[in-house]
Amino acid sequence: MKRVLEQNISCSAGKNNNSIEIVASNVPIENHAANGVNWANLRLHDLESDHVNQRIQCLLSIARHIPLFSVEQQKEIIEIIIQRLDKEQDGDAKNRQITQESNSMRLISTLFEDLISDLSNSHHKVRAVSISLLSLLPFIFPEHATMTEMEVQKIVSNYARDSDPRVRKSALDALVQMHLRGCPLDLAIYNLSVASLRDDYEEVRMGGLNLMGVLSSLYPEHRMKLAHEEVNETTRLIDDAFNKVCDLVNDSAITVRTKACVMMASYQNVGPDMLSQTFSKQIMSHLKRRLPRYKAQQKKYANGQIPVAEGDIDVESDEFHILDSGACGSFIHGLEDEFQEVRNAAIDSICELCMYNEQLTKKAVEFLVDMFNDDIDKIRLNAIQSLRKIGTKSTLEFDEEQLEIAVGALEDSDPLARQATHELFTVVRLTVPISLTTLLDALEANTKRYPMDVLSIYRCLRDVGKRHDDYVETLVSDLLKLDKRYLPKEANVEDIMYTAYVILIVNACSSNVKMLHHLPKYIFRHFAYFKSKYPDCIPDLRKLYKIAGIKLEGDVDCLPMTFSASAKKLVAADAESYMTSTIDMLQVIKTQVERNELSTALLTIDVAIRNFKYITSLKPLLVGKSELAQLYLQCYQIVIKVKQSHSSPTYASTAQLAAASLLKHSYTMQHTYLGLSKNTLHTAMYFRILANMIWIFGVLKQMPISNNTSFSIKNMLLAFHQRVKLIQQEFNYQDNEVLSNLQRNLSSAIELPTTTKMTLLHSFITSFLPLDICLDNPVKRTTADIILPQSNPDKPYKFASKYPVKLHLEVDVFNCSDTNQLAIEFILPDQSSFMFWPAPGQFKQTTPYCYKLATNVELSLSPWTEPGVVIIRIVQSFEPDLSGLDEYIIKYPNHSTPNNNAGTKMSTSCVISEHLKYRLCPTTASNVMNKRSF
């Protein structure tokens, strides 16, 4: 109803008839569209209707047709609207007057005059719209405005005290909008914003908060005289504004309280005394003043005392507060609010202010830890994560009571809350040694209740050990169960808590190397083992031993061989030269194939593959390039073996397998590597043409002769022709003679598949020569590591067969350009497959092209009685050239493998992770709970 319709400018109604008639009759109006409009479509008679809605709908219709009006129609419409303005009484209809912009100063002056006149209109909507428009005009007509920005600002400010709250809100919003458009606001408006905070209407108080936020950012250091008339002291505007904002934390409206808590975060430069006051409900001594003695004497008997039930109150005390008590305990009030929105906003503001004011941290910790017991899970999680953020800026200290509350969060059913708590302990310093034992007991209970948290706990203990080396040193004997009276017994490295203790101890040693001299010898082997198993949880052992001056001997030194800096440079240079010489072998292989020395070429390929594998151990940066080259050589091997066996009797049995492998390798090359050159992509596609040809002749060898044989051949050739056509488009050039000849031969064979024509097509296999591959680019392979669940060959997971199996998965993904193409594939014991597509929000980016996936999956399994293995793997889907045919070829010989993908999208995919075998054991026992699996 309130939309202001315009062509160039929409404005509120004017009352000056004469001036507007001049505008309508004398001012030329330009319009390029002169086709005109059918007056019947406008229903202008509705302007005289007794129903307000019909009059408004007519005005809306006029506005929609403005671009189509001819010049004469525009003039006539304006005259009709002007005449109607004299009769219109409804404000909703009246504020839809439409005027046309002109370069005439008279029009602009009239516009300003009309707006000023409409500011006195009795209808609140007309005044509110006029205020909004008036604040915009100085920016629309910067050269012709009859009022300056400051004059407009003064007029708008006056209406912030209007009798109607909607007009007051419009005026406050207009001032904020003027600031956003670059107009400097007058400092005198500050008192206006202060008054607005005490308004009876919450919309006005919200507008006052916005305006105060603007002014406190413009004039933070302005000195203001204290409101108390007896003391000649000043305070900063930003401190006074912060105090006023804090006062609204106790507002009656939830939206105002939430807004106040949110705004508190923006006052990072408030004085530390004022910030400290937000966590105390009593006025601190440094915020109090005493009246001068002579002033106190004068007023001693002025009003005396007021008797009340609780006793006499001296209302004329010689002590007063510098500022209002708004900041007193404002954060406490926010954290105790009954609405979660307010509590959440208060936690966010505390976190933000602590990042800029470290002296506030100690007070904040006490209250944020109490929020761990909140009824709302989002509040608990926010409090934990906020404390962790604060801890990254300054170390947190937990006493025994605070630790007891914090470890309670480890029992939360939400895995995000537990993981956030683990991360919190990495930035905490415990104040007493006994607290470390309490923490370790809580983490042990966590591993038993939620085994899937083990890796997160290990990472937590890594940092706990570094921060508490003095406490850990006194606990080593108890943790490792050492007794000086007996020889140490080597512990089981597969024990979860022993692993946790070793991670704690070795990281404590990195802060206190003296501890290494008191450890049993066998533990150094365990350090090396855990370094290979959990590399991010164990520090650099050689550097640690060097600092401690320890030299390991015999079987204790299980560390991998390392090189000095100069030796590393030599190895890197050797790897580059070795890579170059191995790449040169590709040309040797090509020459051998051209000479038909196929057996020799196979031997050369074996040597080249072995060399590329060795290169990956010399220089990890070349892993992607080496693996791509190995895949290319495997395709080369298939091509050579097909050439060798194409005329043998066993060709029919091996051809379809060769076609499936070649097609799979080709798609893997194209879709699981980043940084491929155009030539390499063409090489991968070229292999698919050969794979299709091999498959066709493999099928023909096994196809019985019948009346439908020619029909089947024709269908296969048509599909093949479509593939060649698609790949030629990808090549983007027509001068490839081999593909052009192949396309001509295919077209001929499709018309009539004679023996001669099919023999000509078969010659493509015998004469096929792979295209060269380009290894100049820094190629990276898309891979994934399944972190959770872990393989359980010795301890199958028992579940009630009538319920779905719930699995929690955590996966690290590397070098992936599009996570939407990633899926989790489950191969069930009956060899059926199930594809699960994680939601995009479950992928958290860690570094460019690398992601962390955390998700939960429910598997609905068909009943069985014996333990079975579910294979879990990560796959990357892609769109094949010919979806139906390629899926059929790739699956050979398991064409009929069932899948449980009902209701999900089907796609062809490449495996990018190792297969994880997870053993399940169904049970029908009624008391078996379907627990989480790890």
d(CA 464, CA 430): 9
Q: Report yes or no: 842 and 813 within 8 Å, Cβ to Cβ.
A: no
Give the 3-state DSSP-derived string for 547-577, with helices as H, strands as E and coil as C. HHCCCCCHHHCCCCCCCCHHHHHHHHHHHHH
d(CA 244, CA 267): 12
d(CA 268, CA 69): 56
Q: Report yes or no: 876 and 912 within 8 Å, Cβ to Cβ.
A: yes
Output the pLDDT for position 305: 47
715 Cβ partners below 8 Å, 6+ apart? none
Count of residues making up the chain: 934
Strand-pair category, 850-859 with 833-836: unpaired
* Residue boundaries of the structural domains of the chain: 9-218, 220-285+322-394, 395-554, 565-767, 782-923
Q: Report yes or no: 436 and 479 within 8 Å, Cβ to Cβ.
A: no
Q: What are 781's strand-pairing partners?
A: 673
**Which of 261, 260, 319, 310 is closest to 289 using CA atoms?**
319
Q: Report yes or no: 492 and 471 within 8 Å, Cβ to Cβ.
A: no
Q: What are 910's strand-pairing partners?
A: 876
d(CA 910, CA 534): 28
Residue type for 726, please?
L
Output the pLDDT for position 904: 44
Burial of 767 (0-12, 13-18, 19+ CB in 10 A): exposed
Task: Please give the backbone phi and psi of residue 444, each rounded to the nearest 5 degrees, phi first.
Answer: -65, -45
Exposure string of 817-852, with b = 16+ CB inside 10 Å and e = fewer, is eebebbbbbbbbbeeebbbbbbeeeebeeeeebebe
d(CA 487, CA 502): 19
- Same topology between domain 220-285+322-394 and domain 782-923: no
d(CA 192, CA 212): 9
* Domain 220-285+322-394, CATH number (from 3.40.640.10, 1.25.10.10, 3.90.550.10, 3.90.1150.10): 1.25.10.10
pTM of the complete model: 0.60
Q: Report yes or no: 75 and 38 within 8 Å, Cβ to Cβ.
A: no
Give the 3-state DSSP-derived string for 842-907, with helices as H, strands as E and coil as C. HEEEEECCEEEEEEEEEECCCCCCCCEEEEEEEEEEECCCCHHHHHHHHCCCCCCCCECCCCCCCC
Output the pLDDT for position 115: 72
Output the pLDDT for position 435: 93
708 Cβ partners below 8 Å, 6+ apart? none
Output the pLDDT for position 5: 34
What beta strand segments (E) does 217-367 contain? 223-225, 234-236, 288-290, 306-308, 311-313, 319-321
What beta strand segments (E) does 260-395 contain? 288-290, 306-308, 311-313, 319-321
**Which of 274, 148, 139, 284 is closest to 216 using CA atoms?**
274
d(CA 185, CA 195): 17
What CA dihedral angle connects 276, 281, 284 and 287, to 10 degrees? 90
Give the up-direction half-sphere exposure of residue 578: CA atoms within 13 A in the CB hemisphere.
Answer: 21
Specify the CATH superfamily of domain 782-923: Immunoglobulins (2.60.40.10)
- How far apart, in Å, are the Cα atoms of 228 and each of 235, 271, 290, 638? 12, 20, 11, 94
Query: Which residue numbers in the chain have pLDDT < 50?
Result: 1-34, 97-103, 284-323, 554-557, 559-568, 570-571, 902-905, 926-934
**Which of 129, 119, 127, 31 is closest to 77 using CA atoms?**
31
Please state the separation of Cα 573 from the chain's center in Å. Answer: 40
Domain made up of 9-218: CATH architecture: Alpha Horseshoe (1.25)
Angle formed at CA 840 by CA 835 and CA 841, multiple of 5 degrees? 125
273 Cβ partners below 8 Å, 6+ apart? 284, 286, 287
